[in-house]
Structure 1
Amino acid sequence: MDQRQGRCDLHTHSQASDGMQPPADNVKLAKQKGLSAVALTDHDTVAGVAEAQQAGKEYDIDVVAGVEISTRAGGKDIHVLGYYVNTEDEQFLQRLRGLREARDERNHLIIGKLQELGLDISWQEVLDELGRPLEPDESIGRPHMADVLVKKGYAVDMRDAFDRYLAEGKPGFVSVPRVAPEDACEWIRAAGGAAVIAHPGLYNDDELVRRIIEDSRPDGIEVFHSDHGPEAERRYGELAKEYDLIETGGSDYHGKRQGVVFHGDLGSKTVTVDVLERLKAAASQQKGE
């Protein structure tokens, strides 16, 4: 038996947001990696979940309906993961549409700032770089802009594009009004799901993370992530125990850009199936089951 049998990667992205592969390909890869389950957690959209779940039936692997919601707190972008959400809940879908509209506004503002910096880049080029029509309810993000910046020689690779222009505090960064983490957690619960604070180590502010937990009452926190080292895993594991939170984890797989896998390869960060059972139980409480 593969040593990863019974393991789950609970954080992956597809072309429905800023991943490089169709949703079904993530599921196929998870099966090839010997995983028992994989979650599709695209940014502010559940557009790829149906395809992923159909592939789950084909490959005999459990596919968790997920989402990653963009929020703002303490002057930082904070992401909240939702698991086992009802992807047909119209109120939830409407709320996600509002987030994508804010994202679209931000994207055009970023392009404007990059042009002001003297960079020859247009929104049409970002769309063209997709190599396919943008499907309804899909989400465009900064990695798509980074692809164009690399192609045109303004950056060496995606990491360099973020470090030079797109990351928080850099000249091309734009922040638009976003919902608070507590709102995202409430939305996820209202849609019958379990809410989890994503990759807390990326925020570089553990006191802020603690306040978010106290204000938002999430069901879990992402302890295991491709950008968390052993020390971060220890800290957030202790925080999870302190607040009685489910310890989740995932690779944050986006596929390969310019030959580099971001954030980590699918299956490189996993949790056991009992974590899924705890998330299911938390979601079931929201559904009143």
Structure 2
Amino acid sequence: MKEQTHLKRYDLHTHTQASDGMQPPADNVRWAKEKGLVGVAITDHDTVAGLEEALEEGRRTGITVIPGVEISTRTSGKDIHILGYYMDYHNKEFLKRLEKLRQARDTRNDLILSRLRSLGVDITLEEVVATMGRPLAPDESIGRPHMADTLVQKGYAKDMRDAFDRYLAEGAPGYVSVPRVEPAEAISWIREAGGVPVVAHPGLYGDDGLVRSIIEQAKPAGLEVRHSDHDAATEKRYAAMAAHYGLIATGGSDFHGARQGVIFHGDLGSRSVNDQVVEDLRKAAAEQK
């Protein structure tokens, strides 16, 4: 599918330093403006810690900032990510649930580092945090990209992709999975907080039958059709799937910033949607209230 050229473009999937992105939330907003976007969603992993800073910068620059989150779930032996938009990010129950997910992430990180050490790869959590160049703030979390960065800096991998392929990707020797909530539970959490749940980057799961099963059983409101790791044929396939199930077809870059000169997954604004998609998300959120 060709990049949408509608005047009003939004990137609905970006990460910041609040999870495993490289930039402060305000930088994502400023960069969105520089790239000619009118809006950007902040969708950090299992945290909403970056939203206030981004919203303040949005007010200052005139960029629409869409409150979001990306929740880590697991089903049928696969990690599945669920995006949420326009939820009440002050909702106490929602925040408690996200905190539990971050605790699971912390446990996973300890297990990954232990497994790496058993492989003769000696990196510590303190070194990973030091690689960030700043203290870890409350409600922020360490992710595999942080570890990959440290692996490269210590000479265990030649670049970020090599670090994942060699140690951290699913199926690699250092990969560890911990118990997570099911997609349906995360979707319920987002709805209960007044938000709109969307299945993220379905093409990364390599199992369209599973994607359809999640849609049919968990009833998300949307499917992320446009994504930096989806080629044109993949986007066309998921656009058809979204239309079949009556879902909002969303999209975004999954921007994390650049590590070791490599941008994962795509540059901010490299995938976008127009204002009709955002209006559909707003309407769906209003129906949750």
Structure-1 separation of matches of 2:91 and 2:229: 32
Structure-2 separation of matches of 1:44 and 1:190: 16
Q: Which runs of 4+ in 1 moved over 6 A?
A: none
In the alignment, which residue of structure 2 is the partner of 1:34? 36
Superposed CA deviations along residues 20-47 of structure 1, whole A, max 9, x for unmatched, are: 0000000000001110110000000000
1:143 partnered with 2:145: yes
The equivalences for 1:1-289 within 5 A come to 5-287=7-289
Structure-1 separation of matches of 2:188 and 2:266: 29
- Structure 1 gap ranges (5+): none
Structure-2 separation of matches of 1:211 and 1:221: 13
- Structure 2 gap ranges (5+): none
Q: Is the 8 A contact 1:188 1:194 kept in 2?
A: yes
Structure-1 separation of matches of 2:254 and 2:101: 20
How far 1:124 moved relative to its partner?
0.9
How far 1:5 moved relative to its partner?
3.3
Structure-2 separation of matches of 1:176 and 1:233: 30
Structure-2 separation of matches of 1:216 and 1:257: 35
Q: Is the 8 A contact 1:12 1:253 kept in 2?
A: yes
Q: Is the 8 A contact 1:253 1:264 kept in 2?
A: yes
Structure-2 separation of matches of 1:26 and 1:92: 24
Aligned to 1:252, what secondary structure does the other structure show?
Answer: coil
Structure-2 separation of matches of 1:246 and 1:280: 11
AA matched with 1:10: L
Structure-2 separation of matches of 1:265 and 1:200: 19
Structure-1 separation of matches of 2:265 and 2:58: 23
Alignment length, in residue pairs? 285
Structure-2 separation of matches of 1:103 and 1:236: 29
Structure-2 separation of matches of 1:156 and 1:214: 42
Aligned to 1:113, what secondary structure does the other structure show?
Answer: helix
Q: Is the 8 A contact 1:225 1:269 kept in 2?
A: yes
| TM-score normalized with structure 1 length | 0.98
How far 1:4 moved relative to its partner?
6.0
Structure-2 separation of matches of 1:179 and 1:260: 31
Structure-2 separation of matches of 1:115 and 1:220: 41
AA matched with 1:25: D
Structure-1 separation of matches of 2:74 and 2:235: 23
How far 1:215 moved relative to its partner?
1.2
Aligned to 1:132, what secondary structure does the other structure show?
Answer: coil
